[in-house]
Amino acid sequence: MRIGELAARAGTTTRTLRYYESRGLLPARRGGNGYRTYDESDLKLLRQIRTLQDFGFDLEETRPFVECLRAGHPEGDACPASIAVYRRKLDELDALIGELQAVRAEIGVRLAGIGGEPPLCELGGQEL
């Protein structure tokens, strides 16, 4: 398939595909006519990248998953490098969850300290 068809099937743009190609995440194959050509395995790579990005992975963090798929593994998360990225991401998420829980607790303390009622606006007694 050509770049426009791949972009449409992957739900992205041709510009994004060219960017992924420049970053080495998408193969740069050309047909005899000079057009970029892609196949179903390229669509699978793109879906893996998009799914990971939806989960909060940055583009470079998707590389081990792409390389795992290219190595012939049916799933991109079966290789040691992919597993290591998963572990790092879980550590990041756990840290963020801890930070959010601390903020939530502090807001709860402050809310309890003011009696749990929203303050009245000084300009006419309306709630803020």
pLDDT in tens, 19-68: 999 999 999 889 889 889 999 999 999 999 999 999 999 999 999 999 99
Please give the C-alpha separations between residue 12 and each of 26, 31, 50, 59, 124, in angstroms, as whole numbers. Answer: 13, 22, 9, 14, 51
**Mean pLDDT (whole number) for 77-94:** 96
Please give the C-alpha separations between residue 63 and each of 1, 91, 118, in angstroms, as whole numbers. Answer: 23, 19, 48
The secondary element (H helix, E strand) that includes residue 123 is none
Indicate whether 72 pLDDT > 80. Answer: yes
Indicate whether 122 pLDDT > 80. Answer: no
Provide the whole-model pTM.
0.76
Give the integer Cα–Cα distance in Å for 28 and 36.
7
Cβ density class 13-32: b for 16+ within 10 Å, e for less: eeebbeebeeeebbeeeeee
Q: Is 69 left (phi over 0), alpha (psi -120 to 50) or beta?
A: alpha
Q: What is the DSSP letter of 73?
A: -
Confidence (pLDDT) at 112: 87
Confidence (pLDDT) at 128: 53
What share of the chain in percent tops pLDDT 70?
90
**Mean pLDDT (whole number) for 92-100:** 96
